[in-house]
């Protein structure tokens, strides 16, 4: 693949828009499409070419990158009589960066292979900040050859690429990471709430944990207690981070994957229920660290620190 290979970018949301922009800035020829006219206008104002239909975006493209909400969107984009697989030429490459079910990723990859089209699943870690800065981590499933074709484009949007195995392996690995993250965030909130209920200062407790065996990203970077870390979503009303509902989606996918493999994920199941309760409490759109509010009346009433 060279920089003259046309890239069709489908899905210009919180993640897709900055990713498409980074490809454009790196000199790739990008044609973008989204169902939302606002999303299209946003990238167009930064110089990215856009189209009114998905078929027009894909016309003449050697690579299609998708960044869509979930499995249903990805399967309906590529599969079926109207799906893009019927339009793409042999030798084209699909890079799906959405977080979806591993089984869905395998279904699309199998159907693509039958038509001589390559596909890699390449879900990302790094959030909207990583997407904007071009520092995402891509967690890849698919063949070495397909990854080699897509690597220059991935390099323009991220700084780490982990090849985890065949199709679907990238999605499995992403779900494993997010299941661990969801559990760790919930227990970090529980621990801080316990400490405060016993009279401890949440900032001092966090500083201690950050250099002790309970340390984690949840304490050191995305601390759920408001005011402990200035840059954490908790300190700006839980806005602008990784949404509770996205975490809930990923935990659901992890639990489903475990059931289909006969594996047990008791803490993942428990965490899925906690984020579901947090959604029901009206915090689905807030950063997932707001799960701490299940444990603290103090924060809910605005007496955080």
In the set 5, 6, 13, 26, which binds ligand NAD (CB under 6 A)?
Answer: 13
Which stretch in 63-71, 88-96, 151-159, 256-264 sits in contact with ligand NAD by CB under 6 A?
63-71
For position 99 contacting ligand NAD by CB under 6 A, the verdict is yes
Distance CA 90, CA 179 (A): 37
CB 265, min distance to ligand NAD, A: 19
Out of 149, 174, 249, 303, pick the active-site residue.
174
Instruction: Give 16 or 195: the residue with its C-beta nearer to ligand NAD.
Output: 16
In the chain, DSSP assigns E strands to: 6-10, 29-33, 49-50, 63-66, 93-96, 118-121, 124-125, 136-141, 158-165
In the set 112, 117, 124, 222, which binds ligand NAD (CB under 6 A)?
Answer: 124
Question: Which two structure tokens, joined as six digits, stand for 173?
Answer: 């690995």
CB 204, min distance to ligand NAD, A: 30
Residues 6+ apart with CB under 8 A from 224: 185, 188, 189, 192, 218, 232, 234, 289, 290, 291, 292
Q: By CB under 6 A, how many residues form the interface with ligand NAD?
A: 26
For position 272 contacting ligand NAD by CB under 6 A, the verdict is no
Q: Known catalytic residue: 303?
A: no
Report which of 5, 3, 120, 121 is spatially closest to residue 61, judged by C-alpha positions. Answer: 5
Residue 89 CA, chain-centre distance (Å), reads: 28
For position 135 contacting ligand NAD by CB under 6 A, the verdict is no
Q: Is residue 186 within 8 Å of residue 291, measured between CB atoms?
A: yes
Instruction: Give 99 or 188: the residue with its C-beta nearer to ligand NAD.
Output: 99
Contacts of ligand NAD in 227-246 (CB under 6 A):
242, 246
- Tokens 């891509």 correspond to 138
Which stretch in 14-22, 113-121, 198-206, 279-287 sits in contact with ligand NAD by CB under 6 A?
14-22
Distance CA 9, CA 57 (A): 8
Report the residue number whose CB is nearest to ligand NAD: 13
For position 42 contacting ligand NAD by CB under 6 A, the verdict is no
Report which of 75, 165, 140 is spatially closest to residue 112, judged by C-alpha positions. Answer: 75
For position 16 contacting ligand NAD by CB under 6 A, the verdict is yes
What residues line the site for ligand NAD (CB under 6 A)?
Answer: 10-16, 33-36, 39, 54, 67-70, 73, 77, 98-99, 124, 127-128, 242, 246
Residues designated catalytic: 174
């Amino acid at each position: 693949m060279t920089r003259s290979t046309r890239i069709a970018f489908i899905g210009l949301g919180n993640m897709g828009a900055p990713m498409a922009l980074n490809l454009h800035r790196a000199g790739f020829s990008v044609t973008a499409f989204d169902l939302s006219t606002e999303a299209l206008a946003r990238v167009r104002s930064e110089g990215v070419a856009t189209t009114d239909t998905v078929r027009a975006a894909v016309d003449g493209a050697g690579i299609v990158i998708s960044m869509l909400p979930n499995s249903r969107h990805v399967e309906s984009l590529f599969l079926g009589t109207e799906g893009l697989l019927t339009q793409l030429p042999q030798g084209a490459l699909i890079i799906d960066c959405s977080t979806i079910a591993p089984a869905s990723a395998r279904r699309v990859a199998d159907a693509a292979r039958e038509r001589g089209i390559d596909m890699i699943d390449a879900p990302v870690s790094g959030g909207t900040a990583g997407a904007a800065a071009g520092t995402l981590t891509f967690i890849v499933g698919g063949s070495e050859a397909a990854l080699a074709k897509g690597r220059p484009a991935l390099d323009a949007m991220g700084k780490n690429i982990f090849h985890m195995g065949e199709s679907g392996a990238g999605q499995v690995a992403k779900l494993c990471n997010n299941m661990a993250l969801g559990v760790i965030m919930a227990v970090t909130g529980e621990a801080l709430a316990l400490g405060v209920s016993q009279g401890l200062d949440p900032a001092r407790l966090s500083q201690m944990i950050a250099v002790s065996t309970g340390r984690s990203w949840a304490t050191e970077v995305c601390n759920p207690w408001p005011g402990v870390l200035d840059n954490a979503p908790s300190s700006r009303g839980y806005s602008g981070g990784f949404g509770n509902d996205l975490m809930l989606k990923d935990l659901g996918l992890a639990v489903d994957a475990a059931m289909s493999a006969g594996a047990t994920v008791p803490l993942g199941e428990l965490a899925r229920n906690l984020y579901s309760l947090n959604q029901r409490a009206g915090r689905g759109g807030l950063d997932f660290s707001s799960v701490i509010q299940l444990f603290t009346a103090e924060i809910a009433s605005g007496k955080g620190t």
